[in-house]
Amino acid sequence: MPAGFSAADFYNILPELVLTGGALLVLIVDVLTVRQQRSLLGWLTFGVLSATLLALLPFSDANTVASRGLLAIDGFAFFFKVIFLLTALVTVLMSSSYIEVEQLRAGEYYFLILCATLGMMFMASGIDLITILIGLETMAVAFYILAGFLKPNRRSNEAAVKYFLLGAFSLGILLYGMSTLYGLSGTTNVRELATALASQERSALLIVGLVMVVAGIGFKVAAVPFHMWAPDVYEGAPTPVTAFLSVGSKAASFAMLLRLFMEGLPFLADVWQPMFWVLAVVTMTVGNLAALTQSNIKRMLAYSSIAHAGYLLIGVVANSSRGVAAMMIYLLLYVFMQLGAFAVVVMLRRQDVVGDELKDLSGLYFRYPTAACAMLFFMLSLGGIPPTAGFMGKFWLFSAAIESGFFWLAVIGVLNSAVSLYYYIRVVVFMWMKEEALGSPIVASPSMAVALTVALAGVVVFGVYPRPLFELAQVSAQSLGGVVAAVGALSF
Amino acid sequence: MSNVADFPLLSLILFTPLAGAVLLLFVNRQSEDAIRWIANVVAGIGFLVSLPLWFWFEPQGAQWQFVERLEWIPSIGAEYSLGVDGFSALLVLLTTMMGSIAILSSWTAITERVKEYYIFLLVLQTGMIGAFVSLDFLLFFLFWEVMLVPMYFLIGIWGSDRRLYSAIKFFLYTLVGSVVMLLGILAIYFEHHAMTGIYSFDVTRFHELTLPVGLQWWVFLAFFLGFAVKVPMFPFHTWLPDAHTDAPTAGSVILAAVLLKMGTYGFIRFSLPILPEATIEFVPMVIWLSIIGVIYGALVALAQRDWKRLVAYSSVSHMAMVMLGMFSLNPVGIMGSIVQQINHGISTGALFLIVGIVYERRHTREISEYGGLSKIMPVYAVVFLIMTMSSIGLPTLNGFIGEILILQGVFVVNKMWAAVAASGIVLGAAYMLWLYQRTMFGNVDNPKNESLPDLNIRELATFVPLIVLAVWIGLYPSPFLRRLDSSVMHVVSRVNAAYAPLNADGGADASAPVDGSLAGGQ
């Protein structure tokens, strides 16, 4: 045992340890079983994730710094880890039938899903630039492979290569920015960074470093103009991977962003607030406008997910504990609506039907009213219509903007969400008002049914009674260091 | 009253239609008649349980009655808080009545996807009632938006011709207005917190708030967008003719009778009492838009060849009149405005039913396709005549009461406005009577019309309550006015302080309360 690490340090990363052990177990079991028993792996992965979630529960009100200042075990990290685990759980549930149809190698697939989840968890906990980066890369490398998992499919290959090249490039930029910050402050610890840099003159180098970090993270959350990879990757990657990527990776990147900017660079808020203001406006507008013309559901959801990154950036601009809480709430609710929508798309994938064009949804309601009703709720939720979860999320984001005095940002935000309804409703039109054009019957596996039920329940229950979620998020947001001070400066 | 005070009457009224919708989910879609029966019975029960709002409401009692308060989201100060005053009680009664009439009118008109149709109608019903009874602004907004989706489906699935276009137009117009309104709500919410230290969406608290004038100005504009689209005021009215024309009959009836009232309800409940100073400032703008609306709506109605579109444009004109009365900001005008809202619900709702009757028989709305119907369908012609007279404001019928009060209120403020409003009434008589003449009188030129059956019992049943109400309000409106008194005085007392400048170039006694003298004197 290396000097300086105590038993407590290992206890603090118990959930991560469980997850790591579980991921290795999946690989071993994969070797030991024959191909016919593949469905076993899915349930094993489900068990690993559930065990991780259980191991995480004791940390709900923890607030410590672990591993010699590398990790923060606090409410903020807890909340995000719940998001990641929920996302992974639902993704695994919706994967089994897809793996069957596409003849994927289940063992590696589930292993990579678990690795990506592990990376995300470190991104949320990390308060050291190095830890954050390692978490980021653990997640990203897993996703590079997952994006190209449909080996004979050219689009999937293209997605993987594109994602890898642009990902590596953006990592370089992020790294360059971070090393600048390190060079100026002499520390890689995010919290020490704040104190070290606060007393310094604002040099041009500092601003350059900041811009680099913004650009690097902008790529990860697919903010315009760093979004070019997203539509192609989303379209090409296996659909459950797209779902996981669009929710999990986004949430993790936002967690990293909040750590870095709220805890590490709060004193530069007057510089990065305007930058994120512009990014938010451009991202939601471009995302929504591009989504309007898509005929491929996955591509449409990709652009819609870009737009949602734009909405989420409103929370960053607000730079208040309400803004942080809003982002956390939104990201958690986003799990249900986005994964739910993707679950329906995954269901459409059958032996003879690719099922990712809008027209493949035509008349879905007539044969599968339950699925169509669920999709209706997911679309309304993505568009932010009450009584669905999406409304409650948007309510928080816009109220954070108004509280911090960003009226115009809020106006642009709500107008954007009105525009977005046009393409979400189009999905509904296809399902409910077009002639039936379905190929072979759709069979929802039991696990898929569970995934859909969970997603639908999340969307409806939190849309009507979000009280427990709001309270948890409000408390958790407080634990993010530096935010409290920022609120003191901004409250009016 | 005290023994019923604890009974959650409003919740019962609110959730009866929703419960019916849930019940329908479990009925086999093939048994269409069973679905129709259940929907009608549920709507009937919905109306019956709302009747206590008429009998148990105490006109001299508390400002808010039948109040219910439960925790909802305490961390942001949102409550499940319901309550009605005379104004919203009447609108709820209108909603439950028109809801059951709309459902009864659909029996033979809807033959496809019957189950979904009634589910959407019932969900819509809950949304509308919820918006009228919510005393929490967030809850109000929730119900306000909930109405959009079922209405979208009603137009989009069961509508005619360009239904998809009309449905999405309705949806997006209303949505843009309402999301901007949400920002206005949030602005008040945070300002209220800054002033009192309490996070709350309680409308009754907001009614006692004096917001900074600068903020009021912006919030008024935000609310204006939301409510003006719904009313609809010129120039935000363009969704209405499309939505009305393409909606199924029941959809048009609900749209005209209740949904449009959301806008005027919003102005009276929120804009006027919460933002009194801004309201005063915007009087000229609203008045001029209303005047344009009155004249423009009437002129365009005159030019229509489509029966339903004509009625739709008449709505634009009539609702502009409602706005005119409201923004006279004196008791008589606001009283007239509210009465006219009820009247418009009755008469325009009936007119859409009337179009629906012949549309179901002939599947065309072209006025030129008809003519001489009074010879073939005498009962129908009588009903249509009564409703035409009600719509154009013939004395002894309801329209007259509303219009005379509005004119009286406007007159004391500005005689020119009153003159324009009066000309709108004349134009209204012109297009309605001309419509009646073209469709009902003359010879039966079109052989397709020769064997049209007259109203059957079910169809007649949809009109009877409307005719009774039209006559009742026309002859003896004081039970209605008495219930509205305290609502009107509450609003006027909020906008009264800055009411003086308007008074200067108007009459002298406009600020005198209507109270008993007017209510009893009619």
* Alpha-carbon distance values, B419 to B12, B407, B411 (Å): 45, 9, 8
pLDDT for A359 equals 86
Q: Is A399 on the interface with B (CB under 8 A)?
A: yes
Burial bucket for residue B460 (CB in 10 Å: 0-12, 13-18, 19+): middle
Nearest Cα neighbor of A394 from A406, A410, A370 is A410
Which sign, positive or negative, has the C-alpha torsion A423, A463, A261, A147? negative
Q: Find out whether B65 and B87 touch, Cβ atoms under 8 Å.
A: no
CA distance B16 to B128: 13
pLDDT for A4 equals 66
pLDDT tens-digit profile of B448-490? 888 889 999 999 999 999 999 999 999 999 999 999 988 998 8
CA distance B375 to B506: 50
Q: Is A467 on the interface with B (CB under 8 A)?
A: yes
Q: Compute the half-sphere exposure of residue A142: CA atoms within 13 Å on the CB side of its CA.
A: 26
pLDDT tens-digit profile of A437-472? 767 778 788 899 999 999 999 999 999 999 999 999
* Alpha-carbon distance values, B165 to A78, A448, B52, B129, B327 (Å): 46, 35, 41, 27, 33
Which sign, positive or negative, has the C-alpha torsion A90, A95, A98, A102? positive
pLDDT for B385 equals 94
Task: Find chain B residues with C-beta within 8 A of A417's C-beta.
Answer: 179
Burial bucket for residue B302 (CB in 10 Å: 0-12, 13-18, 19+): middle
Residue identified by tokens 């690989």 is: A27
Taking CB atoms and an 8 Å limit, are A425 and B152 in contact across chains?
Answer: yes
Q: If contacts are CB pairs under 8 Å, which of residues 417-456 in chain A contact chain B?
A: 417-418, 421-422, 425, 429, 432-433
Task: Find chain A residues with C-beta within 8 A of B189's C-beta.
Answer: 399
Of A415, A433, A470, the CB nearest to B176: A415
Domain of residue A347, residue span: 7-478
Q: Is B194 on the interface with A (CB under 8 A)?
A: yes
Taking CB atoms and an 8 Å limit, are A414 and B179 in contact across chains?
Answer: yes
Residues 6+ apart with CB under 8 A from A92: A42, A45, A46, A49, A110, A113
CA A460 to chain B, closest CA, distance in angstroms equals 13
Residues B64-73 have a mean pLDDT of 92
Q: Helices (DSSP H) in B327-443: which residue ranges?
A: 331-362, 373-376, 378-392, 398-413, 415-440
What is the b/e burial string over A449-461, where b = at least 16 CB atoms within 10 angstroms of the residue's CB?
bbbbebbbebbbe
List the Cα angle B459/B460/B462 in 5-degree steps: 70
CA A468 to chain B, closest CA, distance in angstroms equals 9
Residues 6+ apart with CB under 8 A from A206: A180, A181, A184, A197, A200, A268
Q: Find out whether B260 and B94 touch, Cβ atoms under 8 Å.
A: no
pLDDT tens-digit profile of B299-342? 999 999 999 999 999 999 999 999 999 999 989 999 999 999 99
CA distance B200 to B213: 20
Nearest Cα neighbor of B84 from B401, B474, B490, B469 is B490
pLDDT tens-digit profile of B8-36? 999 999 999 999 999 999 998 889 999 99
Q: Is B12 on the interface with A (CB under 8 A)?
A: no
- Asked if omega into B248 is within 30° of 0 (cis), the reply is no
Residue A33: phi and psi, rounded to 5, are -105, 160
Taking CB atoms and an 8 Å limit, are A422 and B168 in contact across chains?
Answer: yes
Of B142, B168, B194, the CB nearest to A492: B194
Taking CB atoms and an 8 Å limit, are B182 and A395 in contact across chains?
Answer: yes
- pLDDT over 60 at B503, yes or no: no
CA A409 to chain B, closest CA, distance in angstroms equals 11
Q: Is B172 on the interface with A (CB under 8 A)?
A: yes
Q: Strand B65-73 relative to strand A71-73: parallel, antiparallel, unpaired? A: unpaired
- Find which of B171, B186, B192, B219 to mutate to test the A interface (most A CBs within 10 Å of its CB): B186
Q: Is A466 helix (H, G, I), strand (E, B) or coil?
A: coil
Residue B52: phi and psi, rounded to 5, are -55, -25
Q: Strand A64-66 relative to strand B65-73: parallel, antiparallel, unpaired? A: unpaired
pLDDT for B504 equals 40
Residue identified by tokens 């979904």 is: B116
CA distance A310 to A277: 9
The mean of the pLDDT values for chain B is: 89
Q: Find out whether B510 and B344 touch, Cβ atoms under 8 Å.
A: no
For residue B41, the tally of other CB atoms under 10 A from its CB is 13
Q: Is A189 helix (H, G, I), strand (E, B) or coil?
A: strand
Q: Least CA distance to A373: which residue of chain B?
A: B116
Please check whether residue A151 lies inside any domain of the structure. yes
- Quick one: how far is CA B307 from the chain centroid? 21
* Alpha-carbon distance values, B337 to B321, B332, B344, B407 (Å): 8, 8, 10, 10
Q: Which residues of chain A have pLDDT under 70?
A: 1-4, 438, 481-492
Q: Is A109 on the interface with B (CB under 8 A)?
A: no
Residue B123: phi and psi, rounded to 5, are -65, -40
pLDDT for A181 equals 92
- pLDDT over 70 at B352, yes or no: yes
Q: Least CA distance to B156: which residue of chain A?
A: A433
Nearest Cα neighbor of A360 from A296, A456, A421 is A296
Of A402, A414, A422, the CB nearest to B187: A402
pLDDT band at residue B81 under the 50/70/90 scheme:
very high
pLDDT for B496 equals 65
- pLDDT over 60 at B164, yes or no: yes
Q: Is B183 on the interface with A (CB under 8 A)?
A: yes
Residues 6+ apart with CB under 8 A from A37: none
Taking CB atoms and an 8 Å limit, are A417 and B149 in contact across chains?
Answer: no
For residue A362, the tally of other CB atoms under 10 A from its CB is 19
Residues 6+ apart with CB under 8 A from B165: B242, B246
Residue A65: phi and psi, rounded to 5, are -105, 125
- pLDDT over 60 at B57, yes or no: yes
List the Cα angle B420/B426/B432 in 5-degree steps: 135
Task: Find chain A residues with C-beta within 8 A of B142's C-beta.
Answer: 386-387, 391
* Alpha-carbon distance values, A233 to A155, A161, B249 (Å): 8, 9, 47
Nearest Cα neighbor of B132 from B284, B319, B338 is B338
Residue identified by tokens 């406006």 is: A281
CA distance A249 to B521: 71
CA distance A208 to A273: 15
CA A412 to chain B, closest CA, distance in angstroms equals 10
Q: How many domains does chain A have?
A: 1
pLDDT tens-digit profile of B104-149? 999 988 888 999 999 999 999 999 999 999 999 999 999 999 999 9
ipTM for this prediction: 0.91
pTM across the whole model: 0.92
Position B522: which residue type?
Answer: Q
The H or E element that residue B68 is part of is strand B65-73
Residues B405-411 have a mean pLDDT of 93
Taking CB atoms and an 8 Å limit, are A421 and B175 in contact across chains?
Answer: yes
Q: Find out whether A7 and A68 touch, Cβ atoms under 8 Å.
A: no
Residue B513: phi and psi, rounded to 5, are -65, 150
Q: If contacts are CB pairs under 8 Å, which of residues 72-101 in chain B contact chain A?
A: 72-76
Nearest Cα neighbor of A378 from A453, A467, A299, A290 is A453
- Find which of B171, B179, B192, B215 to mutate to test the A interface (most A CBs within 10 Å of its CB): B179
Residue identified by tokens 């148990």 is: B56
Burial bucket for residue A446 (CB in 10 Å: 0-12, 13-18, 19+): exposed
Q: Find out whether A417 and A373 touch, Cβ atoms under 8 Å.
A: no
Nearest Cα neighbor of A110 from A168, A46, A157, A54 is A46
Q: Helices (DSSP H) in A266-296: which residue ranges?
A: 269-292
Of A391, A425, A466, the CB nearest to B168: A425
Position B343: which residue type?
Answer: N
Beta strands in A38-116 (DSSP E): 64-66, 71-73
- pLDDT over 70 at B1, yes or no: no
Q: What separation, in Å, do the N-terminal and C-terminal C-alpha atoms of chain B show?
A: 28
Of B164, B183, B194, the CB nearest to A410: B183
Q: Find out whether A374 and B140 touch, Cβ atoms under 8 Å.
A: no
Structure tokens at A303: 């652009």
Structure tokens at A347: 């269901």
- pLDDT over 90 at B267, yes or no: yes
Of A385, A410, A492, the CB nearest to B148: A385
Please check whether residue A298 lies inside any domain of the structure. yes
Structure tokens at B56: 């148990």
- pLDDT over 80 at B5, yes or no: no
For residue B443, the tally of other CB atoms under 10 A from its CB is 8
